[in-house]
């Protein structure tokens, strides 16, 4: 989504320049990171259930592969735009670098409204899109995963289409699959759990007790739900949840599972029992300790950031904060855990899934969650150390860490030819 006239890819380029100024990275590294390596745009013809043929625009943006194969989700949403997918792909490059996992960054997007399409239409769309990008994806080239509007079923269709065309079963071409197809235990909740682990680290740093800490979660899809559930299990109180239908507030806390059940039945969290109902956007102004943006980009802006009362913002979504708001939050001394760190649990467990697939192996949930926690803690500490030593925001520190690693990799690789 591009709102508030913020073009996310222009902001990515500015961010790279800021880091270049601050730490003096190689100018060619900065320039290359400002240009995605390859962009594939396709017009996807799909026979709809009413027999009409509709055309959907789709993209796959491959941003960088110095540190490993391209990696990133596929988004289905009506507001998908090419510059948005470019930004999302670049954020994947930085995210995999912050977590030090051996991937580059990519992202896919199709302009469609999955909520208004039938299962059959979505299957045809996914299979045709996969067939149109088949030459550029692959287990060692570019490994897609779910994102907004896609899920494990979507990944099953990608795997089946890819395997059918290649002539043998290739589960490692995608991550985020169902367990029955080689998906990993813990993948579904990984983004939310990773964000909760970062939040616990941040709380410790500012002396906030997690037990009883009041949490507001904006967006209640997979990531919002699992963030709420993980924080609830750590002892926090989920006092507000919003989605596009509205926002529910209960000072005593709600049960994340029960709210999810209710949403599955009614389509929204709105008017869940025992809660006060307020407009969705009012969630940002609530008196709470932890705010978890878990929806789309550009939700925290210069218009609403002054009203934010949270002590910690844990960015489960990609790009939820505009640059102007980011600066204001830094000045307000709010502890912002940036998206490229906070929501990296998803791609981390995607990496575990890929590793298991390549080894024809399966790890237990305890093993996966232990490894995830270890990786998230190491990444958090690494970013925090840079932040402390340079007196920067956590976001700037995360970019410094990510871009330094990318520079190091590139300088070793050299430039072909
Ligand atoms: N779509 C998720 C993200 O933005 C996961 C990507 C992946 O697992 O490759 O991080």
pLDDT tens column, 155-176: 999 999 999 999 999 999 999 9
Q: How far is the CA of 72 from the centre of ligand 1 (A)?
A: 5
**Distance from residue 50's CA to the centre of ligand 1 (Å):** 33
CA of 143 to the centre of ligand 1 (A): 10
| Whether residue 171 sits in one domain with residue 116 | yes
Residue 406 inside a domain? The answer is: no
Q: How many domains does the chain have?
A: 2
Domain boundary among 326, 342, 358: 342
Tell me if 189 CB under 6 Å of ligand 1.
no
Which residue in 20, 86, 95, 107 is the catalytic one?
A: 107
Distance 91 CA to ligand 1 centre (A): 10
Report if residue 355 sits inside a domain.
no
pLDDT above 90 covers a percentage of the chain that reads 96
According to the model, what pLDDT value does residue 324 have?
87
Q: Does ligand 1 have an atom closer than 6 angstroms to the CB of 283?
A: no
| Among 60, 62, 67, 73, residue to substitute to test ligand 1 (most atoms within 8 Å of Cβ) | 73
Measured from the CB, is residue 154 less than 6 Å from ligand 1? no
Q: Residue 275 pLDDT > 90, yes or no? A: yes
Closest ligand 1 atom to the C-alpha of 143?
A: 9
- Going from the Cα of 376 to the center of ligand 1, the distance in angstroms, rounded, reads 15
Domain ends where: 296, 327, 342? 342
Atom of ligand 1 nearest to the CA of 344: 10
The average pLDDT across 200-204 equals: 98
Whether residue 270 sits in one domain with residue 308: yes
In a domain, 360, yes or no: no
C-alpha 129 to ligand 1 mean position (Å): 18
Res 202 pLDDT > 90: yes
pLDDT greater than 90 at residue 5? no
Residue among 147, 227, 316, 351 to mutate when testing ligand 1 (max atoms within 8 A of CB):
147
Q: Is the domain of 159 the same as that of 218?
A: no
Cβ(152) – ligand 1 distance below 6 Å: no
Comparing CA positions, the residue from 148, 154, 146 lying closest to residue 76 is 148
Asked if the model's pLDDT at residue 410 lies above 60, the reply is yes
Give pLDDT tens digits for 100-121.
999 999 999 999 999 999 999 9
Asked if residue 194 and residue 338 are part of one domain, the reply reads: yes
Give the mean model confidence (pLDDT) for residues 46-60.
98
**89 and 120 share a domain?**
yes
pLDDT confidence of residue 1: 43
385 annotated active-site: no
> Taking CA 40 as the corner, what is the angle to CA 320 and CA 8, rounded to the nearest 5 degrees?
20
What's the 18 CA to ligand 1 centre distance in angstroms? Answer: 25
Residue 290 lies in a domain: yes
144 lines ligand 1 (CB under 6 A): no
Average pLDDT over residues 177-205: 97
Q: What integer pLDDT is reported at residue 310 of this predicted model?
A: 97
And the tokens for 217? Answer: 């979660």
**pLDDT confidence band for 142 (50 / 70 / 90):** very high
If one residue of 347, 355, 368 were mutated to test the ligand 1 pocket, choosing by the most ligand atoms within 8 A of its CB, it would be 347
Whether 399 is covered by a domain: the verdict is no
Question: Per-residue pLDDT tens for 66-91?
Answer: 999 999 999 999 999 999 999 999 99
CA of 97 from ligand 1 middle (Å) equals 13
For ligand 1, is residue 318 a contact (CB within 6 Å)? yes
- Residue after which a domain boundary falls, among 308, 325, 342: 342
The whole-number average pLDDT for the span 223-236 is 98
Q: Is the CB of 369 under 6 A from ligand 1?
A: no
Predicted confidence (pLDDT) at residue 322 exceeds the cutoff of 50: yes
Using the mean position of ligand 1's atoms as its centre, give its distance from the Cα of residue 166 in Å.
Answer: 25
Tell me the average pLDDT across 350-358.
98
Q: Is 393 in the pocket of ligand 1 (CB under 6 A)?
A: no
Residue pointed to by tokens 């080689």: 182
Substitution site in 151, 318, 346, 372 for ligand 1 pocket (most atoms within 8 Å of beta carbon):
346
Residue 301: which domain range? 190-342
Ligand 1 atom at minimal distance to the Cα of residue 91: 4
The finding on whether 339 has its CB within 6 A of some atom of ligand 1 is no
Q: What average pLDDT does this structure show over 13-27?
A: 94
Ligand 1 neighbour 150 (Cβ under 6 A): no
CATH number at residue 222: 3.40.50.720
More reliable by pLDDT, 391 or 200: 200
Q: What is the mean predicted confidence (pLDDT) over 364-382?
A: 98
Mean pLDDT score across all residues of the chain: 96
Domain co-membership, 167 together with 264: no
In terms of domains, do 237 and 338 share one?
Answer: yes
Q: Are residues 149 and 220 in the same domain?
A: no
Q: Give the CATH number, domain containing residue 146.
A: 3.40.50.10860
Would you state the pLDDT for residue 323? 86
What are the pLDDT digits (tens) for 386-396?
999 999 999 99
In a domain, 20, yes or no: no
Whether 405 lines ligand 1, by a CB cut-off of 6 Å, is no
For the cut 50, the answer to whether the pLDDT of residue 2 exceeds it is no
């Amino acid at each position: 989504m591009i709102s508030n006239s913020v073009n996310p890819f222009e902001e990515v380029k500015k961010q790279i320049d800021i880091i270049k100024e601050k730490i003096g990275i190689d100018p060619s590294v900065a320039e290359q990171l400002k240009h995605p390596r390859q962009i594939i745009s396709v017009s996807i013809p799909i026979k709809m259930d009413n027999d009409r043929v509709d055309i959907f625009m789709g993209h796959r943006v491959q941003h960088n592969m110095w540190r490993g194969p391209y990696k990133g989700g596929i988004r289905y949403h009506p507001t998908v735009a090419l510059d948005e997918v470019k930004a999302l792909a670049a954020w994947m490059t930085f995210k995999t670098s912050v977590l030090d996992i051996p991937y580059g960054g990519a992202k896919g997007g199709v302009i469609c409204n999955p909520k208004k399409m039938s299962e059959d239409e979505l299957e045809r769309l996914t299979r045709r899109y996969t067939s149109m990008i088949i030459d550029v994806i692959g287990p060692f080239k570019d490994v897609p995963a779910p994102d907004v509007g896609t899920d494990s079923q979507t990944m099953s269709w990608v795997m089946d289409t890819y395997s059918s065309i290649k002539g043998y079963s290739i589960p490692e071409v995608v991550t985020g699959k169902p367990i029955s197809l080689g998906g990993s235990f813990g993948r579904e909740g990984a983004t939310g759990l990773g964000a909760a682990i970062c939040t616990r680290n941040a709380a410790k740093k500012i002396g906030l007790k997690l037990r009883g800490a009041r949490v507001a979660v904006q967006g209640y899809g997979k990531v919002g739900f699992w963030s709420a559930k993980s924080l609830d299990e750590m002892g926090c109180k989920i006092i507000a949840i919003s989605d596009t239908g509205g926002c529910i507030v209960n000072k005593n806390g709600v049960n994340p599972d029960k709210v999810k059940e209710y949403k599955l039945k009614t389509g929204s969290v709105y008017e869940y029992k025992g809660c006060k109902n307020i407009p969705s956007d009012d969630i940002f102004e609530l008196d709470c300790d932890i705010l978890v943006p878990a929806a789309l980009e550009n939700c925290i802006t210069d218009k609403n950031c002054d009203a934010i009362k949270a002590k910690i913002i844990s960015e489960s979504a990609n790009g939820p904060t505009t640059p102007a708001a980011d600066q204001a939050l830094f000045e307000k001394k709010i502890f912002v855990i940036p998206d490229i760190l906070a929501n990296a649990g998803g791609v981390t467990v995607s990496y575990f899934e890929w590793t298991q697939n390549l080894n024809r192996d399966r790890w237990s949930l305890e093993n996966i969650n232990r490894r995830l926690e270890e990786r998230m803690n190491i990444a958090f500490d690494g970013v925090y150390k840079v932040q402390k030593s340079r007196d920067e925001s956590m976001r700037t520190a995360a970019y410094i860490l990510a871009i330094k690693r990318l520079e190091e990799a590139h300088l070793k690789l050299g430039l072909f030819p």
